Amino acid sequence: TTETYTRTQYCRWPCECPRSPPRCAVGVSLVTDGCDCCKTCARQRGESCTEADTCDFHRGLYCDYSGDRPRYEIGVCAQIVGVGCVLNGVRYKNGEAFQPNCKYNCTCINGAVGCVPMCTNSRPPLVWCPNPKLIKMTGKCCEQWICDDSRKIRKTSPRHISSAAYEGEDEAWQKNCIVHTSPWSPCSKTCGLGISTRISNDNDQCRLLKESRLCNMRPCEVDITQHIKPGKKCLAVYRASEPMNYTISGCVSKSPYRPKYCGVCTDNRCCTPYKSKTIEVRFQCPDGTEFSWKIMWINACFCNLNCRNPNDIFADLAHYYDYSEIAN
């Protein structure tokens, strides 16, 4: 005699999903369930799985129902038997995570090796150092950037280099999303009111959005060279003696401000901000309406030899390492 049974139905239609997707542990994929309905945290190796609860296919897992004969309803997440990888003479299993050296964390996925760099400081301090050099530090895995000429550092760098002379990109884990915020771009104008932009996904939808702020490096109508002290060639920071109101299209800021500006040099150096923040300014228009704008607030500037066109989109290109560095 053959045993008869009723197969459990794990999927229900129409779909009933929670308002917000669940929070998954770090490294666990957020996937659509097997019913093609709701977002769910993928099951990991050794955990039970069904037609609704799917295994983490990003990690090369599948649902093995062989232990649930003859029903084949509840399985166990197992590793797909795939092609291994060979890197630098060492063979790795499919799905195996490894570190070929201290600089990279790699995973073998069906014959292909994917690596994530552990050394994130891969860009030189372009602002404050005219001659950057990447060197190996004793007792440290990742190389560090230094200035090749220490005398130029004293002449052209700010007093406190450690206080974010070069604002790099920022990444962090938040709500199963890698939060990424790029640095603010240089001001679009060297004098007068311009625009600075950046890209960020620090929002509830984890969507990359473009943010803008107003910036004013220095006033166009003021001859700052007249304020340079006798015997000096540069004035790093200029500040007007009286407070002023910001004006945009006839709309005036509700409060007066006395902002700092970057100065000028009479030699080949240029003055750029190395420490700033973003403030929000409220404007009032003649028709009675109001609006707010983000504005760059300069805290300190310094004069350096690394002068460039603010609209040069290739100025901040990072240096990428080739595949040979991973293997060696």
pLDDT of residue 159: 43
- Tokens standing for 83? 């092609």
Q: How far is CA 6 from the centre of its chain?
A: 52
Instruction: Say if residue 327's pLDDT is above 80.
Output: no
Residue 55 resides in a domain? yes
pLDDT of residue 187: 87
Tokens 């994130």 label which residue? 120
Global pTM value = 0.46
Question: What domain range includes position 62?
Answer: 30-79
Contact 227, 212 (CB under 8 A): no
Contact 256, 290 (CB under 8 A): no
Q: How many residues does the chain have?
A: 328
Does 293 lie in the same domain as 226? yes
> pLDDT of 55-69, one tens digit each?
988 877 889 988 888
Distance of alpha carbon 272 from alpha carbon 236, whole angstroms: 8
Does 35 lie in the same domain as 110? no
Higher confidence at residue 89 or residue 277?
277
Residue 78: which residues within 8 A CB-CB, separation 6 or more?
Answer: 45, 55, 61, 62, 63, 64
Instruction: Say if residue 28's pLDDT is above 80.
Output: yes
- By C-alpha distance, which of 55, 53, 73 is closest to 8? 73
Across 195-208, average pLDDT: 83
Does 218 lie in the same domain as 266? yes
Contact 189, 234 (CB under 8 A): no
Residue 222 resides in a domain? yes
> pLDDT of 31-46, one tens digit each?
999 999 999 999 998 9
pLDDT of residue 274: 81
Tokens 């620090």 label which residue? 202
Domains in the chain, number: 3
Distance of alpha carbon 44 from alpha carbon 37, whole angstroms: 20
Does 262 lie in the same domain as 219? yes
Distance of alpha carbon 108 from alpha carbon 85, whole angstroms: 6
Does 101 lie in the same domain as 74? no
Residue 21 resides in a domain? no
Contact 213, 196 (CB under 8 A): yes
Residue 107 resides in a domain? yes
- Tokens standing for 166? 């070069």
Q: What is the CATH number of the domain that holds 227?
A: 2.10.90
Segment of 100-109, 197-206, 226-235, 266-275 carrying the highest mean pLDDT:
226-235
CA distances in angstroms from 78 to 24, 52, 160, 206, listed in the order given: 20, 16, 54, 31
Across 86-114, average pLDDT: 80
Does 105 lie in the same domain as 59? no
Q: To the nearest whole number, what is the mean pLDDT of the chain?
A: 78
Does 251 lie in the same domain as 276? yes
> What's 28-75 look like in SS3?
CCEEECCCCCCEEECECCCCEECCCCCECHHHCEEEECCCCCCCCCCE
Distance of alpha carbon 179 from alpha carbon 247, whole angstroms: 34
Residue 252 resides in a domain? yes
Following CA atoms 93, 96, 101, 106 in sequence, which dihedral angle do they give, to the nearest 10 degrees?
A: 120
Please compute Rg for the chain using Cα positions. Answer: 29
Contact 169, 183 (CB under 8 A): yes
Does 72 lie in the same domain as 95? no
Provide the pLDDT confidence category of residue 49 given band limits of 50, 70 and 90.
very high
Distance of alpha carbon 40 from alpha carbon 144, whole angstroms: 41
Provide the pLDDT confidence category of residue 315 given band limits of 50, 70 and 90.
very low
Does 273 lie in the same domain as 299? yes
Does 256 lie in the same domain as 281? yes
Distance of alpha carbon 140 from alpha carbon 146, whole angstroms: 15
Q: Give the residues across from 133 on adjacent strands.
A: 146
Range list of H helices, the chain: 150-156, 323-327
Does 98 lie in the same domain as 75? no
Contact 270, 303 (CB under 8 A): yes
Q: What is the CATH number of the domain that holds 105?
A: 2.10.70
Does 290 lie in the same domain as 217? yes
- By C-alpha distance, which of 106, 102, 165 is closest to 132? 165
Residue 297 resides in a domain? yes
Residue 311 resides in a domain? no
Residue 259 resides in a domain? yes
